[in-house]
Amino acid sequence: MDTAKGTFTISMMPAPGEVGGHVDRFDFTKVFQGDLEANGIGVMLSCGDPKSGSAGYVAIESVDGRLGDRAGGFALSQLGMLHHGSQTLHYQVVPGSGRGGLQGIAGTFHLQVDADGTHRYVLDYDLPG
């Protein structure tokens, strides 16, 4: 298993709600820097009341760029839950989503947000051959 590390910036834009307005929608873009030099674009759906400490979201994004010496793309899926202020996050490369030089990629994405708002990632991944 290989590891890629770096940072990313994210821009979130509210979009029209889904499911009769019961589900909030956000479109987002990301710029990854570090071992993964790429751009991402995705959609997040959320529900609940994050201000009270309880909510959840799902997101999927397409990432295109360069990972190490390979150019291509892949998708990431996210599932986040906030329950009474306690957060869990599952972030994974979507199986079968690899394109170009990243065909066959598998892995897990780990996210840390620093106190100053810097988004840091660690991508543990496998690539064939």
User: Cβ(121)–Cβ(32) under 8 Å?
Assistant: yes
User: Cβ(55)–Cβ(46) under 8 Å?
Assistant: yes
> Which residue in the block uniquely carries the two structure tokens 């869990």?
88
Q: CA-to-CA distance for 86 and 44, rounded, in angstroms?
A: 20
Per-residue pLDDT at 123: 98
User: Cβ(102)–Cβ(126) under 8 Å?
Assistant: no
Q: CA-to-CA distance for 12 and 59, rounded, in angstroms?
A: 12
Strand partners, 32: 8, 38
User: Cβ(61)–Cβ(30) under 8 Å?
Assistant: yes
Per-residue pLDDT at 59: 97
Strand partners, 33: 7
Number of domains in the chain: 1
User: Cβ(8)–Cβ(113) under 8 Å?
Assistant: no
Per-residue pLDDT at 3: 97
Instruction: Residue 77: name the closest of 63, 60, 90, 89 by CA.
Output: 60
Domain span at residue 60 reads: 2-126
Per-residue pLDDT at 85: 79
| pLDDT tens-place values along the chain, 129 residues long | 999 999 999 999 999 999 988 999 999 999 999 999 999 999 999 999 888 889 999 999 999 999 999 999 999 999 999 998 788 999 999 999 999 999 999 999 999 999 999 999 999 999 997
Per-residue pLDDT at 39: 98
- The CATH number linked to 122 is 2.40.350.10
